[in-house]
Structure 1
Amino acid sequence: MGQTLKCISPIDGSVYAERETLSPEAAAERVTAARTAQTTWAARPLQERIDLVMAGVAAVGAMNDDIVPELAHMMGRPVRYGGEFGGFNERASHMAQIAAEALADIQVGEDATFKRYIKHVPHGVVLVVAPWNYPYMTAINTVAPALIAGNTVVLKHATQTLLVGERMAQAFQSAGIPADVFQNMFLDHDTTSALIADRAFDFVNFTGSVGGGQAMERAAAGTFTGVGTELGGKDPGYVMEDADLDAAVDTLIDGAMFNAGQCCCGIERIYVHESLYDAFVEKAVAIVNTYKLGNPLEAETTIGPMANVRFAAEVRSQIAEAVAAGAVAHIAAFAEDDGGAYLTPQILTHVTHDMRVMRDESFGPVVGIMKVSSDAEAIDLMNDSEFGLTASLWTGDVERATRVGDQIETGTVFMNRADYLDPGLCWTGCKNTGRGGGLSVIGYHNLTRPKSYHLKKVTG
């Protein structure tokens, strides 16, 4: 008998779903089956693999009416936002469209004597460990290109979104992808670490906490198994004096508060030029005061509970510490704030980088706003972080944004937008946000290994 994984619904604290984990022996057998299936899967024509993956994506889309309320139950996102299929499909479709070119042999040269080229060879069995905050979109970032590239995939999903991997496997298998090629597994941490340490997988992709990423790397130590990680973030926004103020406020506050602030690239700190600061804060407070906190199953709810009471407790702690140290909280407690998962979204001013709310990942509906007087000051503050995922710059001057962006320690630089993942660009981070990169051509490079061919011709 394995461990019981329980998804506790943030709506009311009830157990929404539970599953038994596989025993170490059963898990090892299933990974062996994935390895056996990989050779045959990789031998299929590329277009056949693409078509099967996209059929699996469409099968997930056909489940959307069931998925949307299921997500609300599991992690609290309001049903009014319609789930994740738009981004899920966009990302998979892009990776399908670029696959032939991205996976094509690199031709180095051919003459009468030699033919030389480099192939992109699948790693073998890829483990995808996906998070709960955008459970479908984060998973498909790796699942689709890994399968298209000829790998078999084992998906281990977060307990908070326990049913997502099950649905994805069901959909992809219904579309014709063999059960051993794409598997969802319920695994405990010890079994996962043991499998990695035993070289059961040829590549591991992990999205989650810094501590979780460190555990993955420790498990893989000495195995030479590749580990790609996307971990914490503390993404900044910088509003310059020539910014479109209304657009900046609307986008940055939405980036800070959407999904109850539980976004990998959510905005967690904002720096505003002194000439726009007061107006920015006033507009930001007005926006947040229009939010409707409540049951995510109700159509009028615009911000639902955080996914877990303990996540909300951390945000409350950061806010309380900041206020005790002199920060000003601008949003009065909402009537629906229950002291548990239902949390009042908050805007803080008079914050400093001595406060945890401006240093530690909050991953909740709170943002600190600071006044700055120059690009140099803003750059120093944006770089004063252990994380580096995205940065959002607001200006009418592309050259200025490029110049500032070149000096920011981050994975993605946005100008006049935020909190969006473009599948044509590499999704990557630096510092404690992790290493590696997903999506784009580079995503395919990371899910394959180079194999060189140096062929000498027989010339008689």
Structure 2
Amino acid sequence: MNKLHCISPIDNSVYVERALAGDVEIQSAVDSAVGAQRAWRCTPLAERAAIVREAVAVFTERKEQLGEELCWMMGRPIRFAAGEILGFAERANHMAEIAAEALADIHLPEKSGFTRFIRREPLGLSLVIAPWNYPYLTAVNAVVPSLLAGNTVLLKHSAQTPLCAENMVAAFTEAGLPQGVFQFLHLSHSDTERLIRAREINHVAFTGSVAGGEVVERAAAGRFIDVGLELGGKDPAYVRADADLDHAVETVVDGAFFNSGQSCCAIERAYVHEQLFDEFVARAAELIRGYCLGRPDDPDTTLGPLVRAEAADFVRAQVDEAVAGGATAHIDAAEFAEDRRGTQYLAPQLLTGVHGGMRVMREESFGPVLGVQKVSDDGEALELMNDSEFGLTAAIFSRDEQVAVALGERLETGTVFLNRCDYLDPALAWTGVKNSGRGCTLSAVGFEHLTRPKSFHLKVEL
């Protein structure tokens, strides 16, 4: 029997072992979901929302246990791990709160003799494919609004975080969700592709790499179903001459190094006005040197390992190439005792003397490295920020909101931040452009991708 093995980045031990679903189990889950959807779509929205809120309550009661599991499965420092559970609750509860308005019929202006409205109908069965880096926050974006819209859901989590799928389904089941409405499957890549092609699947939400998104698109080709893709990022920050420097340094560094940089919306490149550049670099380097790299189950650790050694070596190669090409590394890895080449424990790094031709400024690093480049004005910063195949978020640090909005209108990105970064407000649409994906989750707009419009044109006077 084929199995998945979750290898903990803490010590490379096998933390979780699970059997992969076989053909019979997969078809049984699909059939159960299709059958359950007929009744679930007719369940009053208020009842669906109440179940979601109860599931959130069950889930958050277990935040310490769930946080410890996250620490061992994907390496987030234990002092931060439970925070993801609170973020899950924030997003889920917000979507339950706005669902009635977001899913309400659209009534058109009165027309004599006619009744006209547009109803939002559920798509049917949604397949959610979630990654390991923020396994609960990425999954909740699609799972909860899909359930609220009247769809049933199959959840396939990364082999790195299999317990997350099990925990989510368990919480919803305990909250009273009917059997078959929300299920998980542990799947191989080939079986995941086969499931995407199954006629019963009406929607796919995928969060992961660009290469993974391409596989999903190919598998869904010709099916004419909605496919939502949240892919990579190489998100920039611009620190204008009028920025609050203390705030900019603290926020950019946190946005770059939280979760060891393993976030699609992490700050991976910074453009700093020449008037602030030297001071920004000095303060950022000092702050970065204060991180504590170590085992994430140690409460003193503030920077955990990357998910696997290969990921750390990829970042090391980017840094080595940049330095060989003339960049300056401001952090001495020797200051971080846990850093060892060939392992997943990687010291943070700050680079200057970088340019857009370097891999570290173009490829998604997904690790604790930040390249900082000097700019002379808004125009140069804007050109460099847009010079990327990605477009997920972009952050501007300035005291001038009007200028920031004007710049934001010209940025090729899904979200524009002012004086903050690396945060998803559930009231706002979460989306990307270019190779960062397509579709939308969160906000009232996100529900549009989980329903189909049906127009009613009724002649009532004969």
TM-score (norm 2): 0.98
Describe the SS at the equivalent of 1:437: coil
Conserved 8 A contact 2:293-2:303: yes
Whole-angstrom CA distance in 1 between matches of 2:9 and 2:190: 26
What is the identity, as a one-letter code, of the residue corresponding to 2:349?
A: Q
- Alignment deviations for residues 207-229 of structure 1 (CA, whole Å, 9 cap, x no partner): 00001111111000001011000
RMSD of aligned Cα (Å):
1.0
Say yes or no: does 1:420 pair with 2:423.
yes
* 2:269 corresponds to: 269
Q: Which amino acid aligns with 1:330?
A: H
Q: What amino acid is the match of 2:247?
A: A
What one-letter code is carried by the residue in structure 1 that aligns with 2:127?
A: L
C-alpha distance in 1 between matches for 2:231 and 2:337: 33
Distance 2:98 2:40 in 1: 19
TM-fit CA distance, 1:338 = 2.2
Query: What residue is the counterpart of 1:259 in the other structure?
Result: 259
- State the number of aligned residues: 458
- 1:287-298 to 2 correspondence within 5 Å? 287-298=287-298
Would you say the 8 A contact 2:71–2:81 is kept in 1?
A: no
Structure 1 Cα separation of the partners of residues 13 and 203 of structure 2: 36
Larger CA deviation: 119-128 vs 197-206 = 197-206
Return the match for 2:375 from 365, 372, 394. 372
Aligned to 1:56: 55
What is the match of residue 343 of structure 1? 346
Q: Give the superposition deviation at 1:29.
A: 2.2
8 Å Cα contact 1:118/1:451 also seen in 2: yes
CA distance in 2, matches of 1:111, 1:258: 55
Q: Aligned partner of 1:332: which letter?
A: D
Deviations 1:96-140 (A, max 9, x none): 111111000000144451110001100000111011111111111
Indicate the residue corresponding to 1:92 in structure 2: 92
1:57: how far off?
1.4
Question: Which whole-Å CA distance do the structure 1 matches of 2:428 and 2:452 have between them?
Answer: 20
Q: Mean Cα displacement is larger for which, 102-111 or 180-189?
A: 102-111
CA contact (8 A) 2:114 2:461 kept: no
- 1:160 is paired with a residue whose SS is coil
Cα deviation for residue 458 of structure 1 reads 4.6
Which whole-Å CA distance do the structure 2 matches of 1:132 and 1:372 have between them?
A: 35
State the alpha-carbon separation in 1 of the partners of residues 67 and 95 from structure 2. 24
Q: Does 1:362 align with 2:361?
A: no
Q: Aligned ranges for residues 28-43 of structure 1 at < 5 Å?
A: 28-43=27-42
Residue 272 of structure 2 aligns to a residue whose secondary structure is strand
**How far, CA to CA, are the matches of 1:82 and 1:270 in structure 2?**
26
Deviation for aligned residue 1:26: 2.2
Q: Name the amino acid aligned to 1:68.
A: G
Aligned-partner Cα distance in 1 for 2:43–2:289: 55
Contact 2:107 2:116 survives alignment (8 Å): yes
**Aligned partner of residue 160 in structure 2, secondary structure:** helix
Contact 2:115 2:459 in 1 (8 A): yes
In the superposition, the TM-score normalised over structure 1's length comes to 0.98
Q: Is the 8 A contact 1:122 1:150 kept in 2?
A: yes
Question: Which consecutive unaligned segments of at least 5 residues does structure 1 have?
Answer: none
Q: Which residue of 1 aligns with 2:17?
A: 18
Tell me, in whole angstroms, the C-alpha distance in 1 between the residues paired with 2:329 and 2:33. 52
Contact 2:67 2:85 in 1 (8 A): no
| Letter in structure 1 aligned against 2:130 | A
> What amino acid is the match of 1:404?
L
Question: Tell me, what secondary structure is at the counterpart of 2:243?
Answer: coil
Q: Which amino acid aligns with 1:240?
A: R
Query: Which string of whole-angstrom CA distances, capped at 9 and with x for unpartnered residues, describes residues 174-223 of structure 1?
Result: 11112300001111111111121122310100000001111111000001
Return 5+ residue gaps in structure 2 as ranges.
none
The alpha-carbon deviation at position 425 of structure 1 amounts to 0.5
Match of 1:401 in 2: 404
Distance of 2:111 and 2:240 partners within structure 1: 56
1:351-382 deviation per Cα after TM superposition (whole angstroms, max 9, x unaligned): 11111000000010000000000111101100
**Deviation, structure 1 residue 64:** 1.1
The answer as to whether partners of 1:28 and 1:200 remain within 8 angstroms in 2 is no
Any idea what SS the aligned residue of 2:371 has?
A: strand
| 1:234-313 mapped onto 2 (5 Å cutoff) | 234-313=234-313
* Matched-pair contact (CA < 8 Å) for 1:28–1:195: no
Q: Aligned partners of 1:26 and 1:419: how far apart in 2?
A: 38
